[in-house]
Amino acid sequence: MKLTRSLEQAVCIITLLSTQDSTVPLASDVISKRLQVSSSYLKKIMRKLVVKDIIRSVSGNNGGFSLAKSPKKNFAT
């Protein structure tokens, strides 16, 4: 199975956000630097994740992105 580059980046974004404090959104420019991808490319992927309600976008000076749901809730048994 061959994964697309966009899918790989989406998984990396979700993984990165899952390791962050959920109360403090992570700015897209910080994410693009950590993943070493262009900001415009990253924003296209993140927009799709927001539409699918996987991540949440927070606007404002201290805005950014965070997971829409707690990873602990999704994988609790």
Q: Does 63 or 48 have the greater pLDDT score?
A: 48
Q: What is the pTM of this model?
A: 0.83
What are the φ and ψ backbone dihedral angles of 43, each rounded to 5 degrees?
A: -65, -35
Domain ranges across the chain: 5-72
Taking residues 45-52, report their average pLDDT: 95
Strand spans (E) along the chain: 55-58, 64-67
Q: Which CATH architecture has domain 5-72?
A: Orthogonal Bundle (1.10)
Task: Give the model's pLDDT for residue 62.
Answer: 83
Task: Give the model's pLDDT for residue 73.
Answer: 63
Q: Does 77 or 16 have the greater pLDDT score?
A: 16
